[in-house]
Amino acid sequence: MMIRNSTDSYGLVSKLLHSLIAFSIIGLIGLGWWMVGLSYYDAWYHAGLELHRAIGICVLVLASVFAIWKMISPSPGLQKSLKPMEKVGAKVVHIILLLSMFVIPLTGYAISTSSGSGFTFFGLFDIPSLTAITDATRDLAISLHYYTAYGLIVVALLHAGAAIKHQFIDKKGTLKRMF
């Protein structure tokens, strides 16, 4: 298997980053939904929050590596058999997904460090706070984090649904390029 992307398929690095980011985001969404139902005084609340923060930092790092990798090894072009609107949709979806992979972890970091205190990364070391922020800025970060996460869910479902449609209904072999 090739390491770099080719003109018609993704290489090992892109496939690995895609899978790691996708599974991390799915885990974060599940963890986030679970945590919302917990009381602040529930023992699992703090453990869940610590895990959510650490995995969020991992997504930010992986997204950064992914963005750099896309510059080093550009993605294969879109399949020529796609309709013009499908091509536009694919480009818009990819941009939204990539932006979300930065906005959500960065706003999560802002929320987590809003008081000026850092947090632990899997209990290994501390992620420091760069600065305390105002309550208004924290509230904005909370809203951005929340709505961008829900937007990401919708766009990721569109992304996966389109890939499945192109693979099984249109018979375009779309999933072969990524897996």
pLDDT of residue 74: 96
Q: What band does 80 get if pLDDT is binned at 50, 70 and 90?
A: confident
Q: Which residues of 108-127 are buried (b: 16+ CB within 10 A; e: fewer)?
A: bbbbbbbeeebbeeeeeeee
Residue-wise pLDDT tens digits, 131-157: 999 999 999 999 999 999 999 999 999
Q: Residues, the chain, total?
A: 179
The predicted-structure confidence for 2-52, as pLDDT tens digits, reads as follows 999 999 899 999 999 999 999 999 999 999 999 999 999 998 999 999 999
Q: Where are the alpha helices (DSSP H) in 73-130?
A: 84-112
State residue 66's pLDDT score: 98
**Residue 123: CA atoms inside 13 Å, Cβ hemisphere, count?**
4
Higher pLDDT, 79 or 12: 12
Report which of residues 12 and 174 the model is more confident about: 12
Token pair belonging to 106: 């960065």
Using the structure block, give the residue that is written with the tokens 């529930």: 42
For the chain, what is the mean pLDDT? 96
Percent of the chain with pLDDT over 90: 89
Residue with tokens 């058999």: 81
Summarised one tens digit per residue, pLDDT across range 53-62 is 999 999 999 9
| Structural domain boundaries in the chain | 12-178
The pLDDT, as a whole number, for residue 99 is 98
Output the pLDDT for position 178.
81
pLDDT of residue 134: 97
Q: At what angle do helices 135-164 and 12-36 cross, to 10 degrees?
A: 130
- Residue 22 burial by Cβ neighbours in a 10 Å radius (0-12, 13-18, 19+): middle
